[in-house]
Chains A and B, each alone.
Chain A
Amino acid sequence: MKFAAILLCVALPALAEIDLSGSWTSKNHEDNMERGAGPNPDDWAGLPFNESGRAKALGFSQSIISMPERICWFQTQWHIAAGPFSLKIWSENDPLTGRILSWVIGGWETRAPMTIWMDGRPHPSKNAPHDQTGFTTGSWNGDTLTAYTTHIKSGYMRRNGAASSDQATITTTFMRHGDMLTLALVMEDPVYLTEPYILTRSYLSTPTPVAVAGPPCIVGYEGVEEGRVPHYLPGKNPFIDEMDKIYHIPREASLGGAETMYPAFREKIKDKFVIPPKCTRNCGAPGF
C-alpha cells in the first residue's frame, strides 16, 4: 500500500495537466494560402495594426528579405502561427525527480525549437538581449497550458510586411482534446497594434514522426548591393489595390485596422462590394 502511494507520487503530476508530447500534423484548412505560398501583398484585412504598423507595411518590399541582415526576419516565434508547419512536442525532465522542467516545440522550418520553461524561473530583465525565439514560461490551468513569450526580436505578423516590434509578446494557449490540439495565439504589441492580434490553429496527432527541426535560416548574399534597402516610398506601393482588383475587396478593408476584425465592419463595405464573377487565381481544390 505504501509502495503504491509512492508510485502515485512519482507517476502523477501534482495538478491536472495533460501530456502534449508527440508529433502533430498541422491542419491548414484556414488561411491556407497565407500560411503556405503567402498572403497577397496588400492583404491586411482583419489585422488590428495602428497607423505606424500600416505605414511600415505599405513601405514593405518583399525584396527586403534578400538583405543579409534581414534574411531571417520571418523566423520569430510567431512563425508557429503564420506558417504551415507541423509540430514535434517533447518534454525535458529533471533526471532525479522526473519533474517536467520544460516543454519543447520543434518542427517548423528554419528556426530553433521553442522552449517553454515550467520550473518557475522568472523572465529576464527587460534590458536582456532579444532574439528570434524569445523567452517563454508556461503554467497549467487544469489541462490547458498557457505559455508567455517575451524578448523577441522585431519580426512579422503577416508575411507581407505587417511587422511586429521587439516589444511584442505572445501568449500561446494549448488545448488538447484527444487526438486534437488547438493553439490560441495572442500577440500584443504596443508599437504596432491597437488591440491584440489573435489566431487559432488546429493539429492532429500523428504516428508519422515530425522532424525536430528544419534546416536553419542561413544568412547569405542574394545580390542586393550594399547600402540598398528595398522599399516603397509613401504613396508608391504598387500593390495597394490588388485585393480590390482580384477579390473586389475595397481598400478600406484591405488596409486593415481593428474595426476590420468585427462583424459591424461589413456594413461599411456592403454597398461597395460586388461578388467577383469567377475565381481566377489561388482557387484551391482539388488537392488545395
Chain B
Amino acid sequence: MIAIALPLAAQPPGGGRGGPPMIPKAAAPIDLTGYWVSIVTEDWRYRMVTPAPGDYQSVPMTPAAIKIADAWDPAKDEASGDQCKSYGAPALLRVPEHLHITWQDDQTLRMDTDAGKQTRLFHFGDWKNPESAPTLQGDSVAQWEIQRAGPRPVNGSLKVATSHLKAGYLRKNGVPYSENASLMEYYDLVKERNGDQLLVVTIVVTDPTYLREPFIISSHFKKLDGDAGWNPTACSARW
C-alpha cells in the first residue's frame, strides 16, 4: 500500500474525479465554529491596557507612521466617530475578546467579536469585491488548506486574504496602518494535552506606507463550551 502525502490543496476538490467542487462548509477539514476566548500571554501591556503615547515597541514602523502615531489624539477620533480604528481586521484578533464563529451560508464563514461588536466575513469560492468604499474589516477571501494522506483529509487550516481596508490602528495608541495595507492569516487548531482546543492565528500585515517590513504576529484563543463570558461592548478609543 502506498499512502501519498499530497501538498496543500488550494480548494477542496470535487466529490470524485470530474465531480462538482465540494461546498466549503462541507469540505471543511477543521471545525472553527463556536465560541473562543483570547488568551493574552503575549504583548500584555499593549493589549490589555492602552499603551502610552510613543510606545511603539516591536512594530517596524516607517518614519511616516511615527509622525502619524505621535499625533494620536483619541478625543479627535471620538469626535469624528472613529473610535473603532483599533478594531479593524489587522488588529482585531489582538483585542482581548470573545469570538463567535459560525457559517453564515455554505460559502461564507462569519466571525463576530464581543469587543467592539465587529463582524468579519470570510468568503470562499469566486467571490468578488463589491463596488464600495473600504471598510474596517475589508474584503476577505478564504480557502481551505487541506492536508491529505492519499485521498483522505487528515488535517488542515484556513487561509484568509484581506484587502480593501479602511485605515486604522495596529495598536490603540495610534500606531497606524493605511488603506494600502493587506492582511494574510492562517487559522490552525491545536489540541492541548488537557483536552482544551486552541485556535492559533498567524497574522501577517503588509503596508508599504507605514510598515518597513511585514508585521508578523500570532494570536491564540481557547474554545469555550458556550457563550459564557460573551459581553458585547462598544468600541473605545481610550480603553
Contact = CB atoms under 8 A, between A and B. Distances in A.
A71 B92 CA distance: 41
Contacts of A239: none
Contact residues on A (Cβ < 8 Å of other chain), bracket: 35 or more
Contact residues on B (Cβ < 8 Å of other chain), bracket: 35 or more
A200 B40 contact: no
Interface stretch (A100-108, A208-216, A225-233, A272-280): A272-280
Contacts of B96: 262-263, 266
Contacts of B65: 285
Interface in A1-28: 5, 8-9, 12-18, 27-28
B80 interface: no
A32 interface: yes
Given A16-B147, A247-B52, A30 B45 contact: no
B57 A249 contact: no
A140 B33 CA distance: 24
A45 B41 CA distance: 8
Given A32-B57, A142-B147, A285 B66 contact: yes
Interface string B80-106: 000000000000000011100000000
A202 B8 CA distance: 20
B29 to A, nearest CB: 8
Interface string B200-237: 10101000000000011111100000000101000000
B55 A284 contact: yes
Interface string B127-164: 00000000000000000010111000011110100000
A260 B45 CA distance: 11
Contact of A17 (B5, B40, B60, B204): B5
B39 interface: yes
Contacts of A286: 61, 63, 66
B49 A5 contact: no
B57 A248 contact: no
B4 interface: yes
A278 B53 contact: yes
Given A13-B5, A173-B190, A275 B42 contact: no
Given A46-B44, A201-B218, A279 B52 contact: yes
Nearest to B145: A177
A16 B150 CA distance: 8
Interface string B166-180: 000000010000000
Closest 9 CB pairs of A and B: A142-B155, A142-B147, A284-B57, A32-B58, A263-B96, A279-B55, A276-B52, A279-B54, A200-B218
